[in-house]
Structure 1
Amino acid sequence: MLDFASVFKDLKVVELATALAGPLTGTYFKELGAQVLKIEPPRGDVSRMWKNPFEKDPATSIYYDSINGLKPCITLDLKNEKDRQKLELHISESDIIISNFTRKKALEFSVSYPDLQKIKSDIILANVTGYGPEVEKAAFDMMIQADSGLLSMTGYPHGLPAKVPLAIADILASHQLREGILCCLLKRLKTGEGSEIQVTLMDSLVSSFTNQAGNYLMGNFIPQPLGTLHPSIAPYGDIFLTADHKYLLLAVGSDVQFQRFCSAIQYQEWVEDGKFRTNQSRIENREQLGEEIGNILCTKSANEWIETFAEWQVPAARIRNLQEVLDDPALQHLIVKETGDSRLIKRMKTLVY
């Protein structure tokens, strides 16, 4: 792991954002070594109340802790003049402000970019909203998943859409915020000037559609739900039940890999079969191919197949649950343990390089 602490240790960040995208960005800069101060409204960050049925702590939630960890935190009421003066002091000593205010709220609280520039001319403002600062519309990740069209591509044919079980729009927006802030820091280093960046959940999610968007933009094809299957590669995303009742997923991405797959399962004749020889023919005959592969993979355990496919360099994976993943010795470096306030917090790192 690279150590950036000496580079970022003097960087000061004020985090005014709540929920996920903004706070996760603040946590990222804390992990880089920056000094991050989280400022919450009197009612607290909304995610403190997002609890599982088994959670009993009235002051926080696993959701909140998984995003914020033990960042230093104070409470200020930005509707109160004295508290706004306290905020101005923090801003005057800071380099970056992270927020999630609409333009109307930013003006009300005197934290718009022009307001901040009056306090510190080279300040960097990174603001995230659902649809843009001018849109006075509440926005949460699930709503963006629907409005962006993502949910039209999830689930199975003739079934209901299925949500991505992560706040994917928020997470992608957080990555956009981080990249934007780092670009602004580089600009300030070169010019001495501050910057304002505006990121939206909607833009962050839709811009990630890449090949699926291309299917419509260049092929006039509207992507349809296919479960785990890939619209233009086969067998890729196909799931099969093995002899030990485990699920195995194939991700065969090329004709060469398919040839190796045929050798691994000892069905070399498929390489010359016109129905399966090329990726295009496999797409056209996907249902038959899946049935035949299923009849083969059900004869051995998942681990046996994983070992065989590894020998032949065939991309495949067993579907693991989170207990298996987070107990994996190879992934322990991703888990952060923080102790404070008589509590132990375990969360995932935001910095993985």
Structure 2
Amino acid sequence: MTQPIFKDMLVLELASVLAGPSVGQFFAELGARVLKVENAATHGDVTRSWKLKAEPADTDTSAYFCAANWGKASLALNLTEPEQLQQLYTLVAQADVVIASYKPGDAERLQVNYEVLQCINPRLIYGHITGYGPDDARAGYDAVVQAESGFMYLNGDPGGEPLKMPVALMDILTAHQLKEGLLVALLQRERTGQGQLVQVSLLQAAVSALANQATNYLVAGQEPQRMGSEHPNIVPYGSVYTCRCGGKLVLAIGDDRQFRKLCAILGAESIAIDPKYKTNYERVQHRQELNQMLHQLIAQQDRGPLLQQLHAQHVPVGAVYTIPEVFAQPQARQLLLQHPGSKPGLRQVAFRLQGQQELDLSPPPTYDNYLS
């Protein structure tokens, strides 16, 4: 096994909630020393207090906080106090990466912006997350950005109300953008010896992820609308069907060959050769009547045997699982972080590097577990 890829790297996390901390955990999983600098004036990361109804009142490592804070040490500082600010500056001189999530102007007020820290350490790479970019002082909140980026408008059933997605997807998309930017900056530093400022906003990360929904509008001139789980360009894709046993499954038919196999397994070969359904273009035109027939056909099948037949013929299909059922899958269990005496966590790193050993990370730090 080779050494962890980020061994001997020091990452300072001046960020809270989900986007920035998930980037910090990403570096921790790949061997970096990650120091979470928490605001002593507010009792640390606000997500320590974001507890489910079932969680005890006296814990400061809430389930939410545990989503993105494995493998870190914690240091509580009040940066408005000169001595504690100097303590941070001492760490900055040794650091490779800083992750920040201040509103525009706040980092400058606290004297922890890139221009100040770069003077202490010219090799420093500073990743800064904002809600709307450096020129808009609004704070960024995932639910608001879901609304303002179009995701909420597109999510939901036809004729229904817009829906927020059940995870903070805008934070997660932003974290991925920041990871990419920081990795590019690290590569560039290897070539130039110089650090760099990497900026990403929640709004731009969200808009960049609109993908085909954006180009359906920009290229084809069609304004996307709520379609439930249907796909605007492919049929049947994303459609959910209920089997005789009550179990639900989703189809993701990407080409005409897969559609013919589906129809054959359902005993409805005539549908596959009908000119109205033979090609994906025609299926999109006749979406509603085709879906009605598929609902009737699949309602006559039990989910387990039908899934087996479809998988055997490489027809894209999957069961609609609950979260406990998700973590019963071996592939999902491989992503669990384990530590004696602690509840499991979830890895940020889902890829594998040849020869790299997965590290045993410490559980999320309690608020009184800071470095001296």
* Pairwise TM-score range, normalised by the shorter structure: over 0.9
Question: C-alpha offsets along residues 149-190 of structure 1, whole Å, 9 cap, x if unaligned?
Answer: 111111011111121111101001111111111111111100
Q: The residue matched to 2:72 in structure 1 has which SS?
A: coil
Aligned to 2:369: none
Q: The residue matched to 2:349 in structure 1 has which SS?
A: coil
Aligned to 2:348: 350
Q: Does 1:275 align with 2:253?
A: no
Aligned to 1:260: 261
**1:6 positional shift:** 3.4
Matches within 5 A, 1:1-353: 5-42=3-40, 43=42, 44-56=44-56, 57-339=58-340, 344-353=342-351
Q: The residue matched to 2:239 in structure 1 has which SS?
A: strand
Query: What is the alpha-carbon distance in structure 2 between the residues aligned to residue 86 and residue 247 of structure 1?
Result: 56
For 1:236, the aligned partner's letter is Y
- Name structure 2 gaps, 5 residues minimum: 352-372
Q: The residue matched to 2:24 in structure 1 has which SS?
A: helix
Query: What is the alpha-carbon distance in structure 2 between the residues aligned to residue 87 and residue 54 of structure 1?
Result: 37
Query: What is the alpha-carbon distance in structure 2 between the residues aligned to residue 304 and residue 135 of structure 1?
Result: 55
**1:268 positional shift:** 1.2
Query: What is the alpha-carbon distance in structure 1 between the residues aligned to residue 67 and residue 198 of structure 2?
Result: 25
Query: What is the alpha-carbon distance in structure 1 between the residues aligned to residue 250 and residue 235 of structure 2?
Result: 12
**1:5 positional shift:** 4.2
What is the TM-score with the length of structure 2 in the denominator?
Answer: 0.91
Q: The residue matched to 1:72 in structure 2 has which SS?
A: strand
For 1:348, the aligned partner's letter is L
Question: C-alpha offsets along residues 222-255 of structure 1, whole Å, 9 cap, x if unaligned?
Answer: 1000000000110111111101101111111111
For 2:218, the aligned partner's letter is L
**1:327 positional shift:** 2.1
Query: What is the alpha-carbon distance in structure 2 between the residues aligned to residue 263 and residue 155 of structure 1?
Result: 32
Structure ranking higher in helix proportion: 1
**1:8 positional shift:** 1.1
Query: What is the alpha-carbon distance in structure 1 between the residues aligned to residue 4 and residue 30 of structure 2?
Result: 9
**1:51 positional shift:** 0.9
Contact 2:28 2:71 in 1 (8 A): no
Q: The residue matched to 1:78 in structure 2 has which SS?
A: coil
Query: What is the alpha-carbon distance in structure 1 between the residues aligned to residue 193 and residue 104 of structure 2?
Result: 25
Query: What is the alpha-carbon distance in structure 2 between the residues aligned to residue 8 and residue 152 of structure 1?
Result: 40
What is the TM-score with the length of structure 1 in the denominator?
Answer: 0.96
Query: What is the alpha-carbon distance in structure 2 between the residues aligned to residue 55 and residue 4 of structure 1?
Result: 40
Query: What is the alpha-carbon distance in structure 1 between the residues aligned to residue 270 and residue 326 of structure 2?
Result: 37
- Name structure 1 gaps, 5 residues minimum: none
Contact 1:103 1:112 in 2 (8 A): no
For 2:75, the aligned partner's letter is I
Query: What is the alpha-carbon distance in structure 1 between the residues aligned to residue 129 and residue 77 of structure 2?
Result: 20
**1:293 positional shift:** 1.0
The alpha-carbon distance between structure 1 residues 142 and 4, as it changes in their structure 2 partners (threshold 3 A), is farther
Off by >4 Å, runs of 4+ in structure 1? none
Question: C-alpha offsets along residues 291-311 of structure 1, whole Å, 9 cap, x if unaligned?
Answer: 111111111211111011112
**1:114 positional shift:** 1.2
For 1:159, the aligned partner's letter is G
**1:220 positional shift:** 1.4
Question: C-alpha offsets along residues 25-51 of structure 1, whole Å, 9 cap, x if unaligned?
Answer: 000000000111000001210111111
Contact 1:6 1:33 in 2 (8 A): yes
Q: The residue matched to 2:200 in structure 1 has which SS?
A: strand
For 1:235, the aligned partner's letter is P
Q: Percent same amino acid among aligned pairs?
A: 35
For 1:53, the aligned partner's letter is K
Question: C-alpha offsets along residues 176-224 of structure 1, whole Å, 9 cap, x if unaligned?
Answer: 1111111111111000011001011111111011111001101111100
Query: What is the alpha-carbon distance in structure 2 between the residues aligned to residue 103 and residue 352 of structure 1?
Result: 32
**1:70 positional shift:** 4.6
Contact 2:237 2:254 in 1 (8 A): yes
* Residues paired across the two proteins, number: 348
**1:4 positional shift:** 6.7
Query: What is the alpha-carbon distance in structure 2 between the residues aligned to residue 172 and residue 141 of structure 1?
Result: 10
Q: The residue matched to 1:6 in structure 2 has which SS?
A: coil
Contact 2:170 2:206 in 1 (8 A): yes
Is 76-85 or 64-73 further displaced after alignment? 64-73
**1:134 positional shift:** 2.7
For 1:13, the aligned partner's letter is V
Query: What is the alpha-carbon distance in structure 1 between the residues aligned to residue 103 and residue 249 of structure 2?
Result: 45
Contact 2:4 2:30 in 1 (8 A): no
Contact 1:148 1:202 in 2 (8 A): yes
The alpha-carbon distance between structure 1 residues 351 and 317, as it changes in their structure 2 partners (threshold 3 A), is same
